[in-house]
Amino acid sequence: MTRRHRSQGVLTALLVALAVITRGQAAGMRKRQGSSPQCVRDIDVTVVPTRGVLRGLPPVEMRTFGASAMAGVGVCNVSHSLPAQLAQRVADGAGRAVHVVGYARSGALTRDVLDLQLPLALGDTDVSVLLVGTNDVTNRTPPARLARHSGELLDALVGLGAPVVMSGLPEFRAMRAVPYRLRGAVHGYGRLMGAAQRHAASQRASVRLVDVSRDVGRQFVHDPSTMSADAFHPSGTGYGRIADALAPTVLPVLRASEP
């Protein structure tokens, strides 16, 4: 059997698992995901270094895109959201104020970011940060389609004139809201989808992909405090861990583009 045939067999098996293993459980998982309370609505904040602005440069303009994790679902204080926590870490590391605007929306697919969020992004941007793909996994988007949509989205983000930092997919095994029998299939399908994202990112010089599952995924699996009450989205602590993983990549691309 060729590698291509083996890959197709794995994909078919995972799709069957996601579609057949208790369809009601999969539907319930999506329902629970979509009904999670979203206290944070619009993210448009400016943060300064915790010890004061150290450098005489204008604020960093950061734009964030994606789905529920980037929209702040799971927390009720904007300062606990991923965009705000990432902005704070960037401000502390760069010695500059950071103005972050969020366009992410809960439930967004990769294609939705391109069609519905990018047109709203106005003004100058120093760095764009993207976290999307979880809904593509739970909705069983074919990997080839995700690769195509990811490429189109990344090209559009690069077209904003700034480098792009893309977060890889989360650690699905930490999502205790996912029925145990379904968790392995979701994790396996997520790995295929993550490979499609990595390939799209690797083809574009202005894009950096951070494998957050590799960097902090084990913390989410073993530390329940990283997940919110819905057991699907991160908590403020969890968003802080993701921000810790992303900031070391955001800071160098900003420094490279400073005047």
Q: Please report, for the chain, the start and end positions of each structural domain, with discontinuous segments joined by +.
A: 3-257
Q: Which two tokens stand for residue 12?
A: 């078919």
Q: List, for residues 61-92, the tens digit of each pLDDT value.
A: 999 999 999 999 999 899 999 999 999 999 99
State the pLDDT at residue 49. Answer: 94
d(CA 112, CA 214): 26
Quick one: how far is CA 52 from the chain centroid? 29
State the pLDDT at residue 42. Answer: 84
Amino acid identity, position 257: S
Question: What mean pLDDT do residues 134-161 have?
Answer: 94
d(CA 230, CA 29): 11
Q: List, for residues 9-40, the tens digit of each pLDDT value.
A: 445 445 444 554 334 444 454 455 444 556 76
d(CA 61, CA 28): 39
State the pLDDT at residue 186. Answer: 83
Which helix (H) or strand (E) segment holds residue 93: the answer is: helix 82-94
State the pLDDT at residue 171. Answer: 83
Lowest mean pLDDT among 11-25, 96-110, 122-136: 11-25
Lowest mean pLDDT among 106-115, 136-145, 160-169: 136-145
Q: Looking at domain 3-257, what is its CATH homologous superfamily?
A: SGNH hydrolase (3.40.50.1110)
Furthest-apart CA atoms within the chain: distance in Å: 62
Q: Indicate the average pLDDT of the chain.
A: 85
Q: What is the pTM of this model?
A: 0.85
Question: What mean pLDDT do residues 203-229 have?
Answer: 92
